Structure 1
């Protein structure tokens, strides 16, 4: 990776990895909900926003689907300019079954649309109402 690509990385400093960090975010009320996702946020004392993604096997039975959801979520998070907050995105509704295809273009478009809305609404909520 070249130094010009650093804005596209997902360094460990931008991840929520510890169980207690996930738990503290889950104790709060959800910030936003969509058809398939719940976004939990809490302010942090770090210079950047951090992300955690939870995708339960019972809601996305295939590993390919779970990995696609995580990949799309990380991509949208990287492109969103969020204030210093911890964001935990949790899949809350089934996205497909073992019988159907693991991923499809339609599924990726649906995921992107929902996640873009969640993170965009979070940016507006963090800034507060326009005065």
Structure 2
């Protein structure tokens, strides 16, 4: 692609549609950390894709939400070759309390450490998919009646 640097985070590497997020959220979380939940799903593409969910409930300031998303994208971009063929979704699940994280640098360090460890988990081989549940066997039909049995009694066949 002309004009795209090797450091870019292209649209093909992002989960963008509601259906894509929903299909990953439908799975059990792969791993939880103090502040994040990781979901991983295999996809049918050669490249990995990332989705980040940071709600106002856990990061009320826009600057903090953007910081978390930027860090997640950058750490994912650095590991893109290891995360090929899977959709990775990171969701913030807890606040960074001001008492513990008084500075933005403290939030950045904690966030980077947690996201990096979760992406290392996401890069591990995925468990084999569960075999699809086989449909129940159709009920067996009653044996067909012989022609002599299908006639009312007393009538010639």
Query: TM above 0.5, one fold?
Result: yes
Which structure carries more helix by proportion?
1
Q: 2:5 aligns to what SS in structure 1?
A: helix
Aligned residue in 2 for 1:76: 75
Uncovered stretches (5+) of structure 1, i.e. residues with no partner = none
Q: Which has the higher contact order (CA 8 A, sep 6+)?
A: 1
Provide the C-alpha distance between the structure 1 equivalents of 2:106 and 2:23, rounded to a whole number of angstroms: 34
Which string of whole-angstrom CA distances, capped at 9 and with x for unpartnered residues, describes residues 29-87 of structure 1?
00111100001111001110000100000100000000000000000100112131011
List structure 1 segments (4+ residues) > 3 angstroms apart after TM superposition: 125-128
Q: Quickly say closer, same or farther: Cα 1:123–1:93, change in 2 above 3 A.
A: same
Q: CA RMSD in A?
A: 2.1
Q: 1:70 aligns to what SS in structure 2?
A: helix
Provide the C-alpha distance between the structure 1 equivalents of 2:56 and 2:68, rounded to a whole number of angstroms: 12
Higher Rg? 2
- Asked if 1 retains the 8 angstrom alpha-carbon contact of 2:24 and 2:41, the reply is yes
Uncovered stretches (5+) of structure 2, i.e. residues with no partner = 129-157
Aligned residue in 2 for 1:6: 5
1:119 aligns with 2:119: yes
Q: 2:39 aligns to what SS in structure 1?
A: strand
Length-normalised TM-score, structure 2: 0.72
- Asked if 2 retains the 8 angstrom alpha-carbon contact of 1:53 and 1:88, the reply is yes
Provide the C-alpha distance between the structure 2 equivalents of 1:35 and 1:74, rounded to a whole number of angstroms: 19
Length-normalised TM-score, structure 1: 0.85
Length, aligned pairs only: 123
